Structure 1
Amino acid sequence: MKQISILGSTGSIGRQTLEVVNSFPEELNVVALAAGRNRELFLEQCKAYKPLLVSLQLEEDALWLKEHLIKEKLRPEIRYGLDGLVAVATCHEAVVVVTALSGAIGLVPTCAAIKASKKIALANKETLVAAGQYVTKLAEEYKVEILPVDSEHSAIWQCLHGENRSAIRKIQLTASGGPFRQLNRQELENVTPEMALKHPNWSMGQKITIDSATLMNKGLEVIEAKWLFGVDYDDINVVVHPQSVIHSMVEYGDGSLLAHLGMPDMRIPIQYALSYPERWFNHLPKLNLTELKGLTFEEPDTNRFPSLSLAYQAGKIGGTAPAVLNAANEVAVHAFLAGQIKFMQIPSIVKRTLNEHQFQGSPVLEEILEIDGWAREEANKIIRNC
């Protein structure tokens, strides 16, 4: 039985991870959970899975949780804040840590888990975006596996099995194109948060859904793929595939193109990260090829969706540039959801923040965290002056 910790258990990926756990009670056991501020749902999770260690974002919520768990005769160790995230990430009993947090907040606990020699099931792409060079070197130093949970990176990972990576010609990252791929520039100016949160194929959290609508999510995945698979940015291509049936592809030097197909269901890549190197049978919906009406592909339009180009630019600059990109984007997305800026101002704010930064090469963790804080302040300043 694999003992697992989950960072972000009340979020979309965290909840789906627990669904996978429910399907494999003999194979998986939850020993530690961490969440943000959804204390009611977290209480139910604690009652259902009875973890040894739990953490919430705020001290007041941790005290509320303790009071309610005592009534249930449950007494796990209860922590809060960043220290609590680190405690869950390094829980002694855990073998695998599912990092399902949204945003750069996942960086510190993920690094702590690596130093504690935990296997990482990575769903927090911002960790590798903000600190890819640092994190991958750390994982190499501690001989820790980073197993991708994102559907696209899981697809690439599986297409690489048994292959010589020097034979890779290109990685083809597929993108649904989001809900607005057919809107013109003027129509995009009038997009509301409610419109942007309606993804055509996937059920995800708010931040990643907005990133999918701007194509920033695909840009972040490009940077993540660079560090996961050790390929150059010029060898990572993005192709819009509206049906979301092919999750990504690897093109080899001999002209072969290996593709990973499946239902657009995050429980499949989550399960594979937890079952690896085995494959477990499940009862999830299966892809019926005879029901497919067709698979189509198109180039992404970076004039209407400039976030993708910004991510490539930041990735190629390297150093602290991706951390600035990520932090500014998080702030801009939050402002859009709060009604403070328009949809098309998101990439503009990211670009202006990047333009204000003096980039540094090969930063260590403390420098990355400092730059992250600077970028958030700068982006907020730009938003206030919009």
Structure 2
Amino acid sequence: MSAALTAICATGAQAEIRVGVLHSLSGTMAISETTLRDVMLMLIEQQNANGGLLGEEIVPVVVDPASDWPLFAERARELLTVHEVDVIFGAWTSVSRKSVLPVIEELNGLMFYPVQYEGEESSRNVFYTGAAPNQQAIPAVDYFLEELGVETFALLGTDYVYPRTTNRILEQYLLDAGIPQENIFVNYTPFGHSDWSSIVSDVTALGEGGQQVGVISTINGDANVGFYSELAAQGVTADEIPVVAFSVGEEELAGLDTGPLVGHLAAWNYFQSADTPENEAFISSWHEFIGDENRPTNDPMEAHYIGFNMWVQAVEAAGTTDVDAVREAMYGLEVPNLTGGTAVMLPNHHLAKPVLIGEIEADGQFTIISQTDPVPGDAWTDFLPESAVLTSDWPGLECGMYNTETETCVQIQSNY
């Protein structure tokens, strides 16, 4: 699919409901985002087969922002003003979401954002269906501390807002847990980085004193291919230096030789290996739709599944696609997730979801080794002093950044 706009319509349909799909289909993030375009098309096709929405056919309007962060803003404006979409499902990186944010707030658009992120945000115009740090990063660090006895941490990330903010939170969390500053190694690399030899060598050197080293990875996009390949090339096994990744799922592993990666970890809210009837049906529908039994599912796909179903419920409850009415209908909505249990939309525009830790298997799937009850997502972390005093409550306080000490609503969003 080209970078040009593509609208997929049912033949003969005179549809009025349009869903914008804003995912990179080219560039460094296409490895992760193309599948999210595909799953949105599947979900829309299924809804249309069930009668559409409010008696109308749903038309997906697909654009390619091409892993170009300013282009995300341009494409979002195009979707809202030229194509007049009723909702947008899109973005992966936080820098792309931050690019879209002022556009949808100016135009009162509505976006569902499906990927784990750094938190420290709660926009009136965004519903965050991926994990906040307390639903992924913090539980992963706890697993390293409590189950694996990690004493020295290498925080490796791509150089943009999500890794930098997440690692600020994790550094403070580790210091509070008694890990000395000298045992926390932090490194950032550009998008698409490919030469990992010296960085992996530096990480292995951290364990020369006999301490257990663990890697917390916020590496995004196709840079993961080079990183994991270099681990294998240097003979680094999970027993020696375990890696837990926040942006590597089944889709990213599909392009790798996973044999040397067996035992490394990922933290998400969903894995394809979840053994539930809902997940079995989802996987079956996906394979039928995509025409490939080997195409995996992953966590952000489940986030779109939850978000789309919640939006449909909210539109039906409101009787309209009007953004303000749909937003009001969203609070408290429940949708079965694919790992068992129910996802609930909270007043802070985040979900309550379970936290899962999975271990990479040779076939590119994950064995789930830890699963929690649903954890409410925090818009503002408790582990940074400037954020600990903030709360988000849109239906109650009409504010996403409320200072509980001064009892005032801060209008400017934090943007690290």
| TM-score, normalising length: structure 2 | 0.35
The normalised TM-score by structure 1 is: 0.37
Task: Name whichever structure is richer in helix by fraction.
Answer: 1
Q: Which structure carries more strand by proportion?
A: 2
